[in-house]
Copies of this chain bind each other. A is one copy, B any other.
Amino acid sequence: MATDDDRTVDELRAALDGPWREIREKAREHLDDDRLYGDPTLDMRAARARVLEQMRLVSTFGWAEKGFRLEHGGGNDPGGAVTALEMLAYTDLSLWVKCGVQWGLFGGAVENLGTERHQTYVEQLITLDLLGCFAMTETGHGSDVANLLTTATYDPATQEFVVHSPTPAARKDYIGGAAEHARMAAVFAQLITGGESRGVHCFLVPIRDDQGNDLPGVTTSDCGLKGGLPGVDNGRIMFDQVRIPRENLLNRYADVAPDGTYHSDIENPSRRFFTTLGTLVRGRVSVGGAAAAGARVALSIAVRYAERRRQFDDPDTGEETLLLDYRSHQRRLLPLVARSYALAFAQNDLVRRMHLVQTGQDVDPGAQRALEKRAAGLKVAQTRHATRAIQECREACGGAGYLTENRLVTLKADTDVFTTFEGDNVVLTQLVAKELLTAYSDEVRDLDALGWVRFAATMTRDVVRDVTGVRQLIQRLRDRSDQGVDDGDLARRDVQLQLFADREDYLTRTAAHRLRARAADTGPFEAFNNAQDHILAAGTAHIDRIVLEAFIEGIAAIEDEQARALADSVCDLFVYTVLEENQAWFIMHRFMSVERAKAVRRGVNELVDRLRPHATTLVGGLGVPEYMLRAAMLTDPAAVSN
């Protein structure tokens, strides 16, 4: 590979753009528009007003309706909708959140938890004639949604639900849209009828009149300034015996008859609750994607800066040295670029799976649950990556990185809450691990072969990318790895995959063993708590493995040889970085000899050396066009030191 060229950039970008590549390309045209970027000089009120205006502009792009069902005037293309909106993360994360709340969370709740009688709301919310918010979290309960305190008590006399906040902790909190713009809230509350509590259900509650005043019994307030996302009007809501019609229950999974009789096709209350939550998986999928997009912007800025910024003379040449020619700088940035590649492929794969499930093309009974696990895991991986990568980019750009005009601090501030919202990362990692523990005895891995075949039959070739073939590739690699992994070449994909899988399997198996052994002695909580770090490690190992698999599959689909070779080296760097981060574990559990661990460390250095000349090509492949970067230091002649 003598020279990189534009074609390699295009090929890499096409690969990372994934199944909804055309939508991304079209979005890049839409987003070449100053009106869609954030203005950090605005105060909170002005920033919120601007974002609302921006959302009205976005509503003309045809992205909003894409994700809704045909019968609601939508495009039945949830994958396309998530992908299109994700592109807003390149311009302004406040705008992305605002749109995500309106069409994803609020819209998703009404469409997926509601029935025909709520159809009119869907039509209105798509066009922004109805602005809504998603009122799940309370001040007292965020992660533990099952224990929400807000009540919705059915009154058969008037055929109404009475929505009420019985304690200060029952206050809805952090709700995007609740502070200013939302007219209606999708409120999660404990449904009570006939004196009996039926668990958490979702209700449509009007909260403001046309003039924006709180309706009777509703008290909204403002969360005020946050670490970032100034354009999102997060607020609080208290309900004082607010009456809503019986029909405002979103009644897809359960209903209350006029006389107060409760009925649900799902008899098990816990299953009903998780079915309800499961329909909201799109939010979690979206958050991971947007976080990763934010990291791509930051890495594009930091790498390009390191390609023009010089500091300290090279004593051999007397010339000042480019930042990116320093080993330490390469090691700071290039492994993060590699992880961005890995996660982009993993996210595309996730969106594809979500699309299949939500359009009814994947009807495998385990598909929804597998999707939820994967969405949780990739939400964790991508938001954690964003926090780490953007922070590293900020620091790698020195004082310039701290100036708002260079955008990195805004990206950091805006994405910071992504590790928390739509599921706290620790709680989600635990959820992933619990799924593993439950399933590990009859583990067949969630290959979902049936689903993939169906997928292949119904989608265009571009979307499919021989995915079934690729799945076979992973299986083939796994089969091969049975022979001689122990002393196998670390550069071999089968050996790499095996190491990742070994770590996951070992951690899961031993965690399960530990839980069983201890539970008898100490009670379940103590047993769980003593093993919590172990359990979390198992979850993380699983996430690493599925990301690697998606990366390998993504590379196999690249036809251009030069681009594929480069992506292969990037994959190696991702693998070596993960192995290096976990080398103590691998050595301590005899999966890696000390000599091999030393080879990993050398390998990282060799790989950053090898990739360094291609750094600009690689960030080009990340797919953030230069006109989107908007960092002053990338064009300021004063920033180059002479």
Residue A274, interface by CB 8 Å: no
A532 contacts the other chain (CB 8 A): yes
Chain B contacts of A536 at CB under 8 A?
A: 328
Q: B residues within 8 A CB of A399?
A: 137, 142, 173-174, 417, 420-421
Do B419 and A311 touch across chains, with their CB atoms under 8 A apart? no
Contact with B along A440-452 (1 / 0, CB 8 A): 0000000000000
A168–B637 touching, CB < 8 Å: yes
State whether A416 and B409 are in contact (beta carbons under 8 Å apart), knowing that A143-B311, A524-B316, A584-B584 are contacts in the complex: yes
Q: Which of A374-404 contact B (CB under 8 A)?
A: 387, 391, 394-395, 398-399, 401-404
Chain B residues within an 8 Å CB radius of A137: 399
- Inter-subunit contact B525/A605 (CB<8 Å): no
Do B398 and A424 touch (CB < 8 A)?
A: yes
A641 interface residue, CB < 8 Å from B? yes
* C-alpha gap A549/B109 in the complex (Å): 58
What does the 1/0 interface line of A138-159 toward B look like (CB < 8 Å)?
0111111001010000000000
Known: A398-B420, A416-B394. A409 touches B639 (CB 8 A): no
**In the complex the two chains form, what is the Cα distance from A327 to B40 in whole Å?**
39
Chain B residues closer than 8 Å to A327, beta-carbon distance: 529-530, 532-533
Q: Give how many copies assemble into the complex.
A: 2
- Are A394 and B168 in contact (CB-based, < 8 A)? no
Provide the A221-232 mask, 1 if CB < 8 A to any CB of B, else 0: 001111110000
A226 and B420 in contact, given A139-B636, A325-B529, A425-B395 (Cβ under 8 angstroms): no
Chain B residues near A227 (CB, 8 Å)? 394, 402-404, 408-409, 412-413
**Residue on B nearest A582 in the bound complex, by CB:** B584
Of all chain B residues, the one with the shortest Cβ separation from A580 is B584
Which residue of A43, A530, A594, A641 has the most chain B CB atoms within 10 A of its CB atom?
Answer: A641
Given A391-B391, A587-B594, the answer on whether A638 and B140 have CB atoms closer than 8 Å is yes
Cα distance A641–B40 in the bound complex, in angstroms: 35
Inter-chain contacts of A61 with B (CB < 8 A): none
Tell me if A426 is interfacial: C-beta within 8 Å of chain B: yes
Select A413's contact among B139, B315, B413, beta carbons within 8 Å.
B413
A25 at the interface (CB under 8 A from B): no
Q: Does A209 contact B (CB under 8 A)?
A: no
B225 and A40 contacting across the interface, CB-CB below 8 Å: yes
Q: Which residues of B contact A408 (CB under 8 A)?
A: 227
Whether the pair A147, B313 counts as a contact (CB closer than 8 A) is yes
Which residues of chain B come closer than 8 Å to A524, judged between CB atoms? 315-316
Residues of B within 8 A of A401 (CB): 420
Asked if A597 meets B605 with Cβ closer than 8 Å, knowing A225-B40, A412-B227, the reply is: no
Q: Is the CB of A526 within 8 A of B594?
A: no
A314 is an interface residue with CB less than 8 A from chain B: yes
Are the C-beta atoms of B142 and A311 separated by less than 8 Å?
yes
Q: Assess whether B140 is in contact with A641, with CB atoms less than 8 Å apart.
A: yes
A169 pairs with B409, CB closer than 8 A:
no
A41 at the interface (CB under 8 A from B): yes
Q: Are B583 and A314 neighbours in the complex by a CB distance under 8 Å?
A: no
* Chain A, 315-360, CB within 8 A of any chain B CB: 315-317, 320-321, 325-328, 331
CB-defined contacts of A331 to chain B, threshold 8 Å:
533
Given the complex, which residues of B lie within 8 Å of A597, measured CB to CB? Answer: 584, 588
User: Given A401-B420, A530-B327, A41 and B391 touching (CB < 8 A)?
Assistant: no
Cα distance A2–B425 in the bound complex, in angstroms: 35
A320 neighbours in B (Cβ, 8 Å): 144, 147
| Chain B residues with CB below 8 A from A266, complex form | none
In whole angstroms, what is the CA distance A387 to B395 when docked? 11
In the complex, 23 of the A-B residue pairs with CB atoms within 8 angstroms, ordered by the A residue number, are A140-B640, A140-B641, A142-B398, A144-B313, A147-B641, A167-B638, A168-B638, A171-B638, A174-B399, A224-B404, A225-B403, A226-B409, A227-B403, A227-B408, A315-B524, A316-B523, A316-B524, A327-B529, A327-B532, A391-B391, A399-B420, A401-B420, A588-B597
Name 17 extra pairs, CB < 8 A, besides A228-B409, A584-B587.
Answer: A140-B640, A167-B642, A169-B637, A169-B641, A223-B403, A224-B405, A314-B525, A316-B524, A321-B525, A326-B529, A391-B391, A394-B416, A398-B420, A398-B424, A402-B417, A583-B588, A587-B594
Residues on A lying within 8 angstroms of B by beta carbon are 40-41, 43, 137, 139-144, 147, 149, 167-169, 171, 173-174, 223-228, 311-317, 320-321, 325-328, 331, 387, 391, 394-395, 398-399, 401-405, 408-409, 412-413, 416-417, 419-421, 424-426, 523-526, 529-530, 532-533, 536, 583-584, 587-588, 594, 597-598, 605, 636-642
